[in-house]
């Protein structure tokens, strides 16, 4: 009988193991641990309304039990999974001001550190809109056997050995890269496995979707304003006007554009003079995947996101990501109109 069964996440990472840059099987195991944590979070996200888990982290529910907000819950799940893996010596999480150092004997020997946004799109959590987890893995710089240090985390995105996201949407998906292209898996709850669904993700070079919070329009840089107007102009030759789509959940907005072709922008604004998104937890991993799928990610001023040297754990950067030709066009407008400001 012909075997046309789909491959699971664990099977694929084992198959790819020999091609990993640090091929001791550690990275494969790590991705499996991330997959396991993602399943636990998926489960909780899906029954969030039922178990009354939504709400303030400090409040108690109707039974008098203390409630845990989903983002705090996700942070705990990933933290425990990473410590249990014994491969990770520390974590930087969007949920915590400082790095978390694992100082048990096993973890001190761990070769990797993890940067994570455990549940991104927090404003969408309580209203049943897609949310996501974003992660990024680096080889540590500090000596093995010692405690993780800040310098392990402040590496440019070019040093990522793996990165990915999980989207908890109409289905739950995981997309990751180890620098050998981007691969997508869809969660099959019936068998409790992430199954290979997008073998080699390639994003269109051109797209017709632009995603930006236009409520901030007045305080956008002139280049962004002009680019938005360009997107809205009528021009058959270039397939304009483009269509505007904005969920307000980076993973969901990025994932849609990755598949269909589009640009996502979070430029500087009045309330966020450096942009809103975080270099370590959001921009670097998403930029890595975008590039691996043939797309592009910059800060809008000609700087490749992955080459920015971080100086601070929670550093923010303006973010322009998506189809290569669309990011190039937005950059053109940014350059042309920057002098006028
Ligand atoms: P969060 O980390 O607090 O959830 O914020 C990040 C989110 C992104 O998912 C999303 O793209 C962006 O913030 C939306 O911001 P805004 O509501 O200002 O448009
Ligand atoms: Mg976030």
Give pLDDT, residue 61: 44
Average pLDDT value for the chain: 91
Return the ligand 1 atom nearest residue 94 CA.
2
Q: pLDDT digit string (tens) for 95-129?
A: 999 999 999 999 999 999 999 999 998 788 878 89
Which CATH topology does 9-200 take?
Answer: Fructose-1,6-Bisphosphatase; Chain A, domain 1 (3.30.540)
Give pLDDT, residue 63: 41
* Residue 150 in this model has a pLDDT that exceeds 80: yes
Nearest 5 degrees, angle CA 269-CA 271-CA 273? 55
Which bin fits 248, alpha (ψ -120 to 50), beta or left (φ > 0)? Answer: left
d(CA 248, CA 257): 13
pTM of the complete model: 0.93
b/e code 162-176 from CB counts within 10 Å (16+ = b): bbbbbbbbeebbbbb
Give pLDDT, residue 62: 44
Q: Whose CA is nearest to atom 2 of ligand 1?
A: 120
Q: Ligand 1 centre and the CA of 77: distance in Å?
A: 22
Q: Whose CA is nearest to atom 18 of ligand 1?
A: 213
Give pLDDT, residue 64: 44
SS (H, E, C) 250-311: HHHHHHHHHHHCEEEEECCCCCCECECCEHHHHHHHHHHHHHHCCCEEECCCCCEHHHCCCC
Any idea which ligand is nearest the CA of 269?
1
- Give the chain's radius of gyration (CA, Å): 20
- Across 29-43, 60-74, 238-252, 287-301, least confident range: 60-74
**134 vs 57 pLDDT, higher one:** 134
Give pLDDT, residue 1: 53
Give pLDDT, residue 66: 46
Name, in order, each residue with C-beta under 8 angstroms of 297's C-beta and a sequence gap of 6 or more. 283, 286, 287, 290, 291, 304, 305, 306, 319, 320, 321, 327
- Across 25-34, 131-140, 247-256, least confident range: 25-34
Q: Whose CA is nearest to atom 5 of ligand 1?
A: 121
Q: How confident is the model at residue 21 (pLDDT cuts 50, 70, 90)?
A: low
Give ranges for CATH 3.40.190.80 in the chain.
209-338
CATH class for the domain made up of 209-338: alpha beta
Return the ligand 1 atom nearest residue 124 CA.
4
Q: Ligand 2 centre and the CA of 120: distance in Å?
A: 4
* Residue 79 in this model has a pLDDT that exceeds 50: yes
Give pLDDT, residue 225: 97
Q: Ligand 1 centre and the CA of 250: distance in Å?
A: 6
List of E strands, the chain: 88-93, 100-101, 112-120, 131-139, 160-168, 172-177, 182-188, 193-201, 209-211, 243-244, 262-266, 296-298, 319-322
Q: pLDDT digit string (tens) for 162-199?
A: 999 999 999 999 999 999 999 999 999 999 999 999 99
Q: How confident is the model at residue 28 (pLDDT cuts 50, 70, 90)?
A: confident
* Residue 67 in this model has a pLDDT that exceeds 50: no
Q: Ligand 2 centre and the CA of 32: distance in Å?
A: 23
Q: Ligand 1 centre and the CA of 161: distance in Å?
A: 25
Please list every protein residue whose CB sits less than 6 Å from any atom of ligand 1. Answer: 94, 117, 120-123, 213, 248-250, 253, 276
Give pLDDT, residue 20: 65
Give ranges for CATH 3.30.540.10 in the chain.
9-200
Q: Whose CA is nearest to atom 17 of ligand 1?
A: 248
Question: Which residues hold their Cβ within 5 A of ligand 2, which is an ion?
Answer: 117, 120
Return the ligand 1 atom nearest residue 121 CA.
4
* Residue 59 in this model has a pLDDT that exceeds 70: no
Return the ligand 1 atom nearest residue 269 CA.
18
Residues pairing with 12 in the sheet:
none
Return the ligand 1 atom nearest residue 251 CA.
9
Q: Ligand 1 centre and the CA of 336: distance in Å?
A: 28
Give pLDDT, residue 341: 52
Return the ligand 1 atom nearest residue 132 CA.
9
Q: Tokens for 273, please give them.
A: 């003079």
Q: Ligand 1 centre and the CA of 213: distance in Å?
A: 10
Helix (H, G, I), strand (E, B) or coil at 139: strand
Q: Phi and psi (nearest 5°) for 135? A: -140, 160
Q: How confident is the model at residue 65 (pLDDT cuts 50, 70, 90)?
A: very low
Q: Whose CA is nearest to atom 14 of ligand 1?
A: 248
């Amino acid at each position: 009988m012909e075997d046309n069964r789909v491959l699971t996440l664990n099977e694929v990472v084992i198959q790819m193991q020999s091609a990993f840059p640090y091929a001791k099987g550690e990275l494969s195991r790590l991705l499996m641990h991330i997959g396991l944590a993602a399943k636990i979070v998926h489960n909780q996200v899906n029954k969030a309304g039922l178990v009354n888990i939504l709400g303030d982290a400090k409040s108690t529910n109707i039974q008098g039990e203390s409630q845990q907000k989903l983002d705090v819950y996700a942070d705990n799940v990933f933290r425990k999974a990473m410590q249990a893996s014994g491969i990770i010596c520390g974590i930087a999480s969007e949920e915590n001001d400082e790095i978390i150092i694992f100082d048990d004997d096993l973890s001190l020997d761990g070769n990797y550190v993890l940067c994570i946004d455990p549940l991104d799109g927090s404003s969408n959590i309580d209203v049943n809109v897609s949310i996501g987890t974003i992660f990024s893995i680096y080889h540590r710089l500090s000596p093995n056997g010692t405690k993780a240090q800040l310098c392990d985390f402040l590496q440019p995105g070019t040093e990522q050995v793996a990165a990915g996201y999980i989207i908890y949407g109409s289905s739950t998906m995981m997309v990751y890269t180890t620098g050998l292209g981007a691969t997508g898996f869809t969660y099959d709850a019936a068998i409790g496995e992430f199954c290979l669904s997008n073998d080699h993700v390639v994003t269109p070079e051109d797209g017709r979707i632009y995603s930006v919070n236009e409520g901030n329009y007045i305080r956008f840089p002139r280049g962004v304003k002009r680019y938005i107007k360009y997107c809205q102009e009528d021009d058959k030759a270039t397939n304009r006007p483009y269509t505007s789509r904005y969920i307000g959940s980076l993973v969901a907005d990025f994932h849609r554009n990755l598949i269909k072709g589009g640009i996502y922008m979070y430029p500087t604004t009045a309330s966020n003079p450096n942009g809103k998104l975080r270099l370590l937890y959001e921009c670097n991993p998403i930029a890595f995947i975008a590039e691996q799928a043939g797309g592009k990610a910059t800060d809008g001023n000609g700087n490749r996101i992955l080459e920015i040297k971080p100086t601070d754990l929670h550093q923010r950067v303006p973010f322009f990501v998506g189809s290569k030709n669309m990011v190039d066009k937005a950059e053109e407008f940014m350059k042309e109109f920057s002098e006028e400001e």
